[in-house]
Amino acid sequence: MASSLIDILRNVFGYSSFRGQQQAVVEHVAAGGDALVLMPTGGGKSLCYQIPALARAGTGIVVSPLIALMQDQVDALRSAGVSAEYLNSSLGSSEQRDVERRLLAGALDLLYVAPERLLTARFLDLLGHIRIALFAIDEAHCVSQWGHDFRPEYRGLSLLAERFPTIPRVALTATADERTRAEIVERLALAGARQFVSSFDRPNITYRVALRHNPRTQLKQFLAGHQGEAGIVYALSRKKVDDTTAWLAASGIDALPYHAGLDAATRAANQQRFLREDGVVMVATVAFGMGIDKPDVRFVAHLDLPRSIEAYYQETGRAGRDGLPAEAWMVYGLSDVVTLSQMIAQSESADERKRVERQKLESLLAYAEAVRCRREALLAAFGETYAGPCGHCDNCVEPARTWDATVPAQKALSAVYRSGQRWGAGHVIDILRGVDNARMRELGHDRLSTFGIGQELDEHAWRSVFRQLLAAGLLASDAQGYGTLRLTDSSRPVLIGKQAVCLREDAKPTRATHRRQGTKSAAAGNLGVEPNEQPLWNALRRLRTDLARAQGVPPYVVFHDATLLAMLRARPTTTDELAEVSGVGAAKLERYGRDFLGVINAAA
């Protein structure tokens, strides 16, 4: 081995120690073993294959699903002094031939390729002529049809095991789902691979979920705590994306839209601005996000429920990849559940798949309604036991107030039953509240024994009861997605008085909570930069932006926020001191050291 693994970590990447399972993975793969690496976003998966590729003779071949992802990784590697290239359709044919020539000459440490390219006869032939250090299969969940990013081309990658049985293969994913994991092992022929499973907790993300009552005001208050920070606002429909973007832009926020209805050039331009500039807010449908490697996304906001607990985890996971504090915030309503159920019911999928999708939606609803620590609830949905409570999610900071809702729950279940289990929450609530109109009489529902027995609660309160009964599995909605409610196996013990029901009070935010959120933002912001540090912080960021622009790369390719923050705190004045800062490797020290020392010394 040319140099030891820890030396590569220190000299090339500028980090002092491995994180979590990195060392175990790197040692195993460098020694020639196959591996399946399950690590959350931001956990540091890239180093798990980059370091062994550098340590072993030959070129590391990295399979990556998206052009944007490859470009980012290659830019970052080059700026750390690594000889890295990619081959994809964005290159002209002479550029491609040039990369191939350098590959054949053994001049590349790492080469990124798309799966469809890797599987061409031409590329496989090239591979036959070079020394291969390893194969890395990034975003390995793309091989799974259960996952959220299925890519049929990934299926062909099982061929690597057959054709190159002696070359180590490492597959990596941030997907926590058990079913997806099993499918990766099967489809990529990784039965013999060692599995490295990390906790899926994202300790730097704060989770907050609220009922949607006035989304614009709620979003505005949330964004007030994130001024000048980059973030993503997710909405379900294209129209909502467009409307929200226009409204945010009119309120002076640097917001851009992204959805499949925009032409490719606009989408690319908006994505580029989000990646290359500081503090852009992307308002998007789920069309945006996969392959967004931007490390300094400070928040992800959901204006609607995502499709599943898995989608929620993936989407919120795009925040805080750099390990610095970030926030995941969501507002939702009962109508989301109906809309999503309809989308699932009307999709082309097979019944088995629809059943799984409904389950995943239900677990998300249960998470949203949870009274316990969010982190505990989220990780539990992926089969992980978190030794909580975390102490900084919304439920931990402000424990939900609960009330004994046994009697209203019994009334609700009974009204669903007596009206024939074929009505949505709206109508059943009308029955409970005794709304006397022509339709009610026509249906004969005014003569039901449950008609008018629920006067003690208003409509808003009843909606809350129904939502929570659904979330708790005490009611189910129909498979066809009409929003009609029926009882479940769990309903009976409640109906016969054997089980009590405790529900959360739906607190509307008070003035006091608004004010508190406001002050937090104005003071230190998310990253905790104090007012007296602000001038140097701004100067460091300006320098970074200038250097990045000159090279045509995103700012974080020069240095991550975490590294700039470390500089701000350590205030190194010499090259040796700067070399000690986490994230400053030999190549970056050489390239940028003088400029950054100049700015720091000027501020002293």
Show the CA angle centred on residue 597, arms to residues 596 and 598, nearest 5°: 85
Choose the contact partner of 46 out of ligand ADP, Zn ion, none; CB within 5 to 8 A by kind.
Answer: ligand ADP
Nearer of residues 45 and 375 to ligand ADP, judged by Cβ: 45
Cβ atoms 416, 520 nearer than 8 A: no
| C-alpha 568: how far from chain center | 28
* Site track for ligand ADP across 255-294, x = CB under 6 A: ----------------------------------------
Strand partners, 330: 209, 302
What pairing do the DSSP bridges indicate for beta strands 299-302 and 281-284?
A: unpaired
Number of residues that bind ligand ADP (CB under 6 A): 18
C-alpha dist (Å) from residue 216 to 56, 248, 307, 520, 603: 54, 9, 22, 20, 41
Considering the rule CB under 6 A, would residue 44 count as an interface residue with ligand ADP? yes
Does 64 help bind ligand ADP (rule: CB under 6 A)? Answer: no
Tell me which of ligand ADP, Zn ion, none is bound by residue 156, counting a contact when its beta carbon lies within the kind-specific cut-off of 5 to 8 angstroms: none
Q: Rounded CA gap, 306 and 211, in Å?
A: 14
65 binds ligand ADP (CB under 6 A): no
Q: Is the peptide bond before 389 cis (omega within 30 degrees of 0)?
A: yes
> In this complex, which beta carbon is closest to ligand ADP, that of residue 339 or of residue 545?
545
Q: Which is nearer to Zn ion, 111 or 379 (CB)?
A: 379
Tell whether the torsion through CA atoms of 403, 407, 410 and 415 is positive or negative.
negative
CB of 20 to Zn ion, least distance (A): 21
Q: Which one among 5, 8, 12, 18 touches ligand ADP, defined by CB under 6 A?
A: 18
389 contact choice in Zn ion, ligand ADP, none (CB below 5 to 8 Å, kind-dependent): Zn ion
Q: Which is nearer to Zn ion, 59 or 526 (CB)?
A: 526
The C-alpha atoms of residue 561 and residue 15 are separated, in whole angstroms, by 14
Interatomic CA distance for residues 584 and 11, integer angstroms: 9
Least Å distance, CB 379 to Zn ion, is 11
Which of ligand ADP, Zn ion, none binds 581 (CB below 5-8 Å, type-dependent)?
Answer: none
Backbone angles phi, psi at 104, to 5 degrees: -65, -30
Q: Please count the other Cβ atoms lying within 10 Å of the Cβ belonging to residue 303.
A: 23
Please, which residue, 73 or 414, has the CB nearer to ligand ADP?
73
393 binds, among Zn ion, ligand ADP, none (CB under 5 to 8 A by kind): Zn ion
Q: Contact 170/63 with Cβ under 8 angstroms?
A: no
Q: Which does 472 bind (CB under 5 to 8 A by kind): Zn ion, ligand ADP, none?
A: none
Query: Checking DSSP bridges between strand 110-113 and strand 169-173, what pairing results, if any?
Result: unpaired
The arrangement of strands across the sheet holding 205-211 comes to 205-211, 326-332, 299-302, 231-234, 281-284, 255-258
Residue 45 interacts with which of ligand ADP, Zn ion, none, CB < 5 to 8 Å by class: ligand ADP
Residue nearest to Zn ion (CB): 373
Q: Which residues pair with 403 in a beta bridge?
A: 503
**Residue of 42, 168, 320, 481 interacting with ligand ADP (CB under 6 A):** 42
Give 392 or 541: the residue with its C-beta nearer to Zn ion: 392
Q: Which is nearer to Zn ion, 156 or 389 (CB)?
A: 389
Applying CB under 5 A, the residues found at the interface with Zn ion are 373, 375, 389-390, 393, 396
Residues 294-333 that bind ligand ADP (CB under 6 A): 295, 321-323
Interacting residue with ligand ADP among 6, 10, 19, 88 (CB under 6 A): 19
* Between 15 and 312, CB nearer to ligand ADP: 15
Instruction: Report DSSP state, residue 481.
Output: S
Shortest approach of ligand ADP to residue 580 CB, angstroms? 13
Q: Indicate which of Zn ion, ligand ADP, none lies near residue 44 (CB less than 5 to 8 Å, by partner kind).
A: ligand ADP
Of 283, 324, 279, the closest CA to residue 300 belongs to 283
The CA distances from residue 280 to 30, 226, 523, in Å, are 39, 11, 21
Identify which of residues 18 and 299 has a Cβ nearer to Zn ion in the complex: 299
| Residue 390 contact, options ligand ADP, Zn ion, none, Cβ 5-8 Å cut-off depending on partner type | Zn ion
Residue 322 contact partner, candidates ligand ADP, Zn ion, none, CB within 5 to 8 A by sort of partner: ligand ADP
Structure tokens at 305: 């429920």
Q: Is residue 530 classed as helix, strand or coil in its secondary structure?
A: coil
Question: Rounded to whole angstroms, how far apart are CA atoms 169 and 51?
Answer: 14
| CA angle centred on 496, ends 493 and 500, rounded to 5° | 60
367 makes contact with ligand ADP (CB under 6 A): no
From Zn ion, ligand ADP, none, interface partner of 47 (C-beta below 5 to 8 A by class): ligand ADP
Shortest spacing between CB 51 and ligand ADP, in angstroms: 10
Binding positions for ligand ADP, 522-561, rule CB under 6 A: 560
Q: Which of 316, 327, 240 is nearest to 284 (CA)?
A: 240
- At 322, list the tokens: 């750099």
In the stretch 564-583, what mask flags binding to ligand ADP with x, by CB under 6 A?
------------------x-
Instruction: Give 342-356 as a DSSP string.
Output: HHHHHSS--HHHHHH
Q: Which does 396 bind (CB under 5 to 8 A by kind): Zn ion, ligand ADP, none?
A: Zn ion
* Residue 46 contacts ligand ADP per CB under 6 A: yes
Q: Which residues pair with 173 in a beta bridge?
A: 38
Q: Which two tokens stand for residue 568?
A: 């701000």
Residue 425 CB, shortest distance to ligand ADP, in Å, is: 40
Q: Which two tokens stand for residue 190?
A: 């990784």
Q: How far is CA 524 from CA 221, 301, 383, 529, 537, in A?
A: 16, 20, 36, 5, 12
Nearest-approach distance from CB 293 to ligand ADP, in angstroms: 6
Residues that bind ligand ADP (CB under 6 A): 15, 18-19, 22, 39, 41-47, 295, 321-323, 560, 582
